[in-house]
Amino acid sequence: MAVPLFLLLCLAAFQTTASADLLSEYAHHAVLDPAEKMKLFWTVDWDAETVSFAVEAETTGWVGFGFSTGSGQMVGSDVVIGWVKDNKGYLKDRFADQKALPPMDKQQDYELTGFQESGGKTVLKFKRKFDTCDSRDIKLEQGVTKVVFAYHTEDPVSETDIKHHVFRGARSILLLNSMDKRDINETGWSTFPLTTKNVTVPTKETTYWCTLLKGPQLKSKVHITKFEPIIQKGNEGFVHHFLLYECHGNFVDKDFDQGVDCYNIANMPYAKCQAASIVAAWAVGGEVFYYPTHAGFPLGSSDSPRNFLLEMHYDNPENLAGRVDSSGVRIYYTDQLRQYDSGVISMGVKTDEWHIIPPKQKSWMSVGYCTEKCTKSIMKSTSLPEGGVNVFAALLHTHLAGVALWTKHVRNGKELPEIARDNNYDFNFQDIQILRKEINIQPGDELIHYCKYDSMDRNKLIKGGISSRDEMCLDFIFYYPRIPNIRYCQSQAFGPSYKLIDKYFPDVNVTSVKHNPLTNMNIDWTDEMVADFRKYKDDVKNVFPICGITNLTTIADSKNPDLTVPIPKITDPLPPEKSKCAQANRASWTNCRERASLTCRFCTVVWHVMRCDWCSLVKRYGTTDSLYHMYPHVMCFDFNANY
């Protein structure tokens, strides 16, 4: 029987209203799957160290949601399964230890706070702590979080009789590093798009396409307040990331054409713009970016860019032909000027052939430095009352082999809180992390950027470069006040490759600082060779600073120690974060011990029924304190579970 039109309209209105209510109730949201069958809403309470969630699913059956270890696989995930039946909500904390119905945890750490089922949808609301102190729960941390989700069309018969899912998926989100956008007022903002122009994506794995674009004709200074990606529908799998550069100079109409492969940009009049300051950065998985209310990127002033260079990274590993693209970025701006102009600097390892990673390595570290000499030079005079610059966001970036990244901050040898970290790096999800608290970098401070790689799937070394199969080790930091014409604060080390060549390939000559001969050689990497190269890398004490204060042009330059600077030394490490779980376990143990001692005092048969003869253990080991040190919390867990 046909459904009356007014009922369909009512249903659609209800569903729209429900989602709108959740958008206003929660600080963040994410569509979990392309078909938008499941959505996640959440708010972070940093004081209580809890997260409140709402999961919306297009089903009236059971709904599952949880956190994966980083692989996105269901096995090893910390999950909840819940449903609504007879106007009652159900939710249980579970752990997927195998490809079967996840068993319920003995320790239930998710609290059901609300539920609704109507209009063909189910909404479950719940909350949990960042760290539940339960080994069967995954700790929620800053950086990328991999979530898993599923549902069935029917409610379970019971908590142990639940049908296999009919829909499931996984995706990455920034759970703890997103901006609360609910109170942002966009009234009066203007926009303009900057996109490629019907580019036919080349039939090769990696293409960097450069397009010169005109900005709006502005009569006075304005501030960029927001930017968002414009990805042409159907091309989501081809557009990997983009950078938008300032582009100063006098250009003619023919320069604003369809653009060229960035490899062929050398003879173009806008080639120099690739060394200019970055205006915007985005990578696959990223969403809308808002500047803080007190800072914005300046346009329309005497030193502001009137034109832009859009560098688009296309990924086409299957060499598909005929794909046409007009993707790019939409810029939002306001004439209501903010207190500070902002900018972007990339920090880490210089992207070139001297950055190499041996094949078949489960864990390989690369480290780049923004040195004391660089920060003294580029941050020596700013408008901040306390000096230096304030960092408010970061985009961590490697390619396919990257698995983790983090950036340390050092002042006079003392390690300060990290700027950004991602222990679950996902090449297919690279979003800008919003720092919970802005970080001030002073002239003379040092930054150390670490990148961890896994090259087990490679048979040849990985070199630094722009291809997805090459590697990068960067952190794009968003900061204020803006320092004009500063784009990099990186480092470079030639020594490890030179030493490897001298020992294993003495007949090979280095002919250019731009080319590492190891990258074109068919090398059989032995364990000894890898160990030597690792040692050469770890023994580096000086690096070449890449921040505009050193110009390396010859082989002699690359061997000149006078052009190098010492790497940062941490003499006062940051104390490890104190675990609140240890205190909680101790308190729980004390309570357990008191109860157990009482049982021992009466020494009744009930203890033997609980399959744990505490009295005998106390007699054998002397005191309950001895048992605490010998059995950290397993005994207490067993006692509480059976008491």
Which residues are designated catalytic?
Answer: 208, 397
Give me the DSSP letters along 169-188. EEEEEESSS----TT---TT
Q: Which residues does residue 89 pair with via DSSP β-bridges, in sequence order?
A: 84
Using omega within 30 degrees of 0 as the cis cutoff, is the peptide bond preceding 193 cis? no
Contact yes or no for 375/412 (Cβ under 8 A)? no
**Closest residue by Cα to residue 513 from 532, 498, 530, 528:** 498
Structure tokens at 148: 């898993």
What is the rounded (10 degree) CA torsion for 249, 255, 258, 260?
-80
Contact yes or no for 584/616 (Cβ under 8 A)? no
Residues 375 and 565: their CA atoms lie apart, in Å, by: 13
> How many CB atoms are closer than 10 A to CB 554?
11
Could you give the strand order of the β-sheet that contains 565-566, starting from the edge strand earlier in sequence? Answer: 433-441, 389-397, 473-480, 343-349, 488-492, 542-546, 565-566
* Long-range interactions of 152-157: CB distance < 8 A, separation 24+: 152/59, 152/61, 152/62, 153/59, 153/60, 153/61, 154/61, 154/62, 155/60, 155/61, 155/62, 155/83, 155/84, 155/85, 156/62, 156/81, 156/83
Contact yes or no for 476/392 (Cβ under 8 A)? no
Could you give the strand order of the β-sheet that contains 77-85, starting from the edge strand earlier in sequence? Answer: 88-96, 77-85, 63-67, 144-151, 167-174
For 219-288, strand residue ranges (E) read 222-230, 239-247, 260-261, 278-283
Q: Where are the alpha helices (DSSP H) in 93-174?
A: none
**Which residues have a Cβ under 8 Å from the Cβ of 258 and sit 6 or more positions away?**
196, 197, 198, 199, 211
φ, ψ dihedrals at 171, nearest 5° = -160, 165
Contact yes or no for 13/21 (Cβ under 8 A)? no
Residues 440 and 622: their CA atoms lie apart, in Å, by: 54
At residue 617, the 3 state secondary structure works out as: helix
Per the rule left: phi > 0, alpha: psi between -120 and 50, beta: everything else, 70 is: left
At residue 528, the 3 state secondary structure works out as: helix
Structure tokens at 72: 């996105």
**Closest residue by Cα to residue 482 from 577, 378, 556, 409:** 378
At residue 27, the 3 state secondary structure works out as: coil
Identify the DSSP state of 604.
Answer: -
**Which residues have a Cβ under 8 Å from the Cβ of 625 and sit 6 or more positions away?**
593
Per the rule left: phi > 0, alpha: psi between -120 and 50, beta: everything else, 200 is: beta
